[in-house]
Amino acid sequence: MPKLGMELIRKRELIRATTAVMHESGLAEPTLAAICARAGLSSSSIVNHYFESKQDLLECTMRDLAAGFLGEVALRVSTARSALDKVRAVIDANFAPSQCTPEAVSAWLWFWSRVPTNEVFAQIERAIDDHVVGELKRALHEIVPEADVDDVAEGIMALMYGFWLRFALDQKKLNIQTACRITQDAVVSKLSLYGQGHAGACPSSPTPGLF
């Protein structure tokens, strides 16, 4: 029964199953057998039917994840008015529900753990990073002194990556909403020092401060 569009459906099923397996079997190397079993398909031959190889499936899976993430960023940033709102939009995108399911978080950590090994993954990672950091810096340029842009951007990225890593390690240890709030607060208080944000210029009052 050569249904049209079967290819797309199967691919999506397999990609979804891949992230599920990454999560369920720890972050161990997912096997094709496990992925196919999870997708309800028998025989791992089907993977080589729709993908060039296991590596291809994994790359597609990560590209899919990355596309979703960059989409969240683009969507939110494009609707932000002020520079500060753009910064906040980037942070919101990082903690967006679609990126924070246990499966997604596991997939991200799995992906990161393979970046040093795998050149293709490294390229994807660099592309994501360049895009997000670029977005961040473009906004920060309008808010903080030129000399501070890099450090502030780097700080924000580290904070988000750190929360993600810690969430992946133990999902009971951390609450995503809390993580997002802490990050947002950190930025607000930080930028308020430069006379931006909702706060006044000099934080003489018991200003929020970082974290």
Partner DNA sequence: GATGAATGAGGGTTCATTCAT
Partner DNA sequence: TATGAATGAACCCTCATTCAT
**Sole binder of DNA in the list 54, 63, 114, 137 (CB under 7 A):** 54
Return phi, psi of residue 144, to 5°: -110, 160
Nearest distance from residue 102's CB to DNA, in Å?
Answer: 22
Measured from the CB atom, the residue of 8 and 127 that comes closer to DNA is 8
H/E run at residue 180: helix 176-192
Q: What span, in angstroms and rounded, lies between the C-alpha atoms of 120 and 188?
A: 36
Q: Which stretch binds DNA (CB under 7 A): 43-51, 104-112, 157-165, 172-180?
A: 43-51
Q: What span, in angstroms and rounded, lies between the C-alpha atoms of 19 and 86?
A: 30
The answer to whether 210 touches 186, Cβ cutoff 8 Å, is yes
Nearest CA to 64 among 118, 108, 97, 112? 108
The reply on whether position 47 binds DNA by CB under 7 A is: yes
**Sole binder of DNA in the list 41, 83, 165, 210 (CB under 7 A):** 41
**Is the CA virtual torsion 136, 178, 187, 78 positive or negative?**
positive
**Sole binder of its own copies in the list 101, 113, 123, 177 (CB under 8 A):** 113
Q: Kindly list the residues in this chain that would bind its own copies in the complex (CB under 8 A).
A: 23, 25-29, 106, 109-110, 112-118, 122, 125-126, 129, 148, 151-152, 154-163, 165-166, 168-170, 173-174, 178-179, 182, 186, 189-190, 192-194, 202-204, 206-211
